[in-house]
Amino acid sequence: MAQVRSNPKYAAITEDLVLRLSQEALTSGLSGKPAVKFVRNKLHQVGGAYFKRDIDYTEAARTLAELPQQLDAQEVWAFCRTLMQSHASTAERLPIIGDFYTTCLASIAPITSILDLACGLNPLSLPWMPVAANLQYHACDIYLDMLGLIDSFLEHFNITGSASSCDLVSQVPRNRVQVAFLLKSIPCLEQMDKRIATALLTAIKAEHILVSFPIHSLGGRQKGMFAFYRDHFYDLVAGQPWAVLEFEFKTELAFLVTK
């Protein structure tokens, strides 16, 4: 674990995930440099590959502290947009961000409680979400430095909630909420456990789950991803007594699951 985290790219990742992957590497017969390489490759696949540039969280926290405390302030929108450009998942959603949340959540708005799983920088999308004044927002991810900024973000805007570390393959947060977000996360999680998606969808304690999939690769190619992930999703929910609404956007395929 120490060797894996000696690289600054992996130093801020929650120890629970590094430990589990390290145990997996050793159990499979790897040791030394091959074991370290195995763990780092997995961490890159599930997280590192999505950062378009390094984020200076200390500087971001300083800027945040000087912002107005109203989510609809223009300076806040500019701050959120700039930071979300740093992560591939939120960056490619920016051109559709208002339409995405308004459309996907229209049938259940205003939203009173959210559980954002493998959140990335998605909590910074709050200014574009149709939420209630008494919103509770709980986010989890594997990057501790990023979670620190999200915690400060929620506190700055007086939003009740939390930002905590989680390894979703090992444990799903038990928060009971109106809607859980699982945005473009399933393909990443399936890099670690092919069976994780069904287990997650079943275990999440939410009235609704907003699930989405990318329809372009990180390099911008489609490669049949829309049809593949659409079929994959309906295979995952086959036989479940859940209602599903489907939404297609230019960069994303989304489903609102009502359990």
- Assign residue 87 the CATH number of its domain: 3.40.50.150
Residue 51: inside a domain, yes or no? no
pLDDT recorded at residue 243: 98
Parallel/antiparallel/unpaired status of strands 177-183 and 160-165: unpaired
Residue 106: inside a domain, yes or no? yes
Shared-domain flag, residues 115 and 157: yes
Domain count, the chain: 2
Give the separation between CA 230 and CA 59, rounded to whole angstroms.
40
- Residue given tokens 């763990």 in the structure block: 39
- Residue given tokens 């919103």 in the structure block: 135
Shared-domain flag, residues 16 and 128: no
Question: Order of strands across the sheet with 243-248?
Answer: 160-165, 131-141, 111-116, 177-183, 206-214, 252-258, 243-248
Give the separation between CA 193 and CA 244, rounded to whole angstroms.
24
Residue 52: inside a domain, yes or no? no
Shared-domain flag, residues 21 and 63: no
Shared-domain flag, residues 19 and 85: no
Shared-domain flag, residues 9 and 110: no
Shared-domain flag, residues 150 and 236: yes
Which domain-ending residue is among 11, 27, 46? 46
Q: Which two tokens stand for residue 150?
A: 């999200």
Residue 38: inside a domain, yes or no? yes
Shared-domain flag, residues 28 and 106: no
Shared-domain flag, residues 33 and 71: no
Shared-domain flag, residues 33 and 133: no
pLDDT tens across the length of the chain (259 residues): 999 999 999 999 999 999 999 999 999 999 999 999 999 999 999 998 888 889 999 999 999 999 999 999 999 999 999 999 999 999 999 999 999 999 999 999 999 999 999 999 999 999 999 999 999 999 999 999 999 999 999 999 999 999 999 999 999 999 999 999 999 999 999 989 999 999 999 999 999 999 999 998 665 566 789 999 999 999 999 999 999 999 999 999 999 999 9
Shared-domain flag, residues 37 and 62: no
- Can you give the residue range of the structural domain that contains 34? 2-46
**DSSP secondary structure letter of residue 15:** H
Residue 157: inside a domain, yes or no? yes
Residue 242: inside a domain, yes or no? yes
Residue 154: inside a domain, yes or no? yes
Shared-domain flag, residues 22 and 126: no
Parallel/antiparallel/unpaired status of strands 177-183 and 111-116: parallel
Shared-domain flag, residues 223 and 251: yes
pLDDT recorded at residue 221: 64
- Which letter, b or e, does each residue of 130-156 get, where b requires 16 or more Cβ atoms within 10 Å of its Cβ? ebeeebbbbbbbbbbebbbbbbbbbeb
Residue 197: inside a domain, yes or no? yes
